[in-house]
Amino acid sequence: MANYFGTDGIRGEVGVEPITADFFLKLGWAVGSVLSEQGKASVVIGKDTRVSGYLFESALEAGFLSAGVDVGLLGPMPTPAIAYLTQTYNASAGVVVSASHNQFQDNGVKFFSAKGLKLSDTDQAKIEQKLSEPMVSVSSEKIGKAYRHEQPLGRYIEFCKSTFDRSVNLNNLNLVIDCANGATYHIAENVFSELGANVNIINNTPDGFNINKNCGATDTKHLQQVVLETGADLGIAFDGDGDRLMMVDHMGNMIDGDQLVFIVAKAWKSQNRLTNNSVVGTKMTNLGMRHGLRDLDIQFIEADVGDRYVMEEMKSHGAILGGEGSGHMICLDKTTSGDGIVAALQVLEVLVKSQVKLVELANDMVKYPQVLINVKTKDKVNLDNHQALIAATKEVEAVLGDEGRVLIRASGTEPLIRVMVEAKNASTTQQCAEKLADMLR
């Protein structure tokens, strides 16, 4: 049986299996068939702004209808909005057509349960099994119906605003917001301006091809430049599907996901809001954050890479705060998924209440230099049996000692091996990472 699901749904290059219209048609049928085992089902489908979204939205819709599932179309919406709206509309599942932070040549799909959570491995296995079976449509009288929801934008905007403490406001705060020409383009400005901020919105004119291109959470150079040129208080960057957040302080420094989670964790700890006194991160979480949390007497819980695994550990340990350096931040007392807009509001709430600039809040955590090198691979690499790499890794770890670490892993979404090295000394970090990457090449 083929294994289509990666760490965040199914993703790849458009037109290359499995990112084709015929596969998405069968995928919609397969998911719909699994959902229908529990009785009459309905789904909501949203997408980001890449041009191929029209194609795959339609293919999925047809697949669901052929399985007897009703479909509510949401149009362009952030991934976390679909998690929220799945519950709001009492749907059996939520469907997101998106390749997240990738550029327009790629696309994919991810799913949420009726509770707004990413699907479990068990659920994914059921879908994989169904995909191996012949596609058979329900009889004509049982075919599903499709309709377009009228006010999903307004519902989600009001939800985002409801997560912010209205005893404070964003009046006189000058923000630059980078929408990555993605799914927050018609939402973010409303949320922040309606809470009082002065908003300068950039990269909010998607054309189907410019999503994540030299902008957004994966490339903050443009945002940093605009923040400095305009003298803004800070900048906020989302990725193409709105589940990642990066920030830029007034001096033009990029503040990543680990730093943002630390800022919120420290504030919530002081306010006795940090349930179970714990924060969930991943194997990639910066050593500086780990040490910073330890110094605050906050337990750090390590999950596998991917916000789905962060969520699983949060639920398992009763934690309400978790995230990744890449910008996913999950505030489980607010929402059920990583949400860039909601996360930004939590950071701004800390900033306003403390009356301290973002640069000072970020400096409370000493960030270790981290080098991440992606090595492209044609074939699958067996990392456990790569003897030369294992030997080189041991040599590097001996050099780093307790003041650094190495993590080498295969990407769950792309044909890459990710080599990550952290250490106190930047040049040592770079040299060690290059040595290990060269071994893989």
If one compares 122 and 229, the residue with the highest pLDDT of the two is 229
Integer Cα distance of 259 and 287 in angstroms: 11
Lowest mean pLDDT among 253-262, 378-387, 421-430: 378-387
Helix (H, G, I), strand (E, B) or coil at 32: helix
Does residue 27 carry a pLDDT above 70? yes
Average pLDDT over residues 180-207: 98
Average pLDDT over residues 258-279: 97
Average pLDDT over residues 247-257: 98
Average pLDDT over residues 208-217: 98
Does residue 132 carry a pLDDT above 90? yes
pLDDT > 90: percent of the chain = 82
What confidence score (pLDDT) does residue 409 get? 87
Q: Are 153 and 186 in contact (CB under 8 A)?
A: yes
Which residues are tagged catalytic? 100
What confidence score (pLDDT) does residue 261 get? 98
Q: DSSP per residue over 302-334, as a string?
A: EE-SSHHHHHHHHHHHT-SEEE-TTS-EEETTT
Whether the bond between 18 and the residue before it is cis, its omega within 30 degrees of 0, is: yes
Compute the half-sphere exposure of residue 281: CA atoms within 13 Å on the CB side of its CA: 25
Q: Model pTM?
A: 0.91
Integer Cα distance of 238 and 188 in angstroms: 9
Rounded to the nearest integer, the mean pLDDT of the chain is 94
pLDDT band at 312 (very low <50, low <70, confident <90, very high): very high
Nearest to 358 by CA among 263, 229, 223: 263
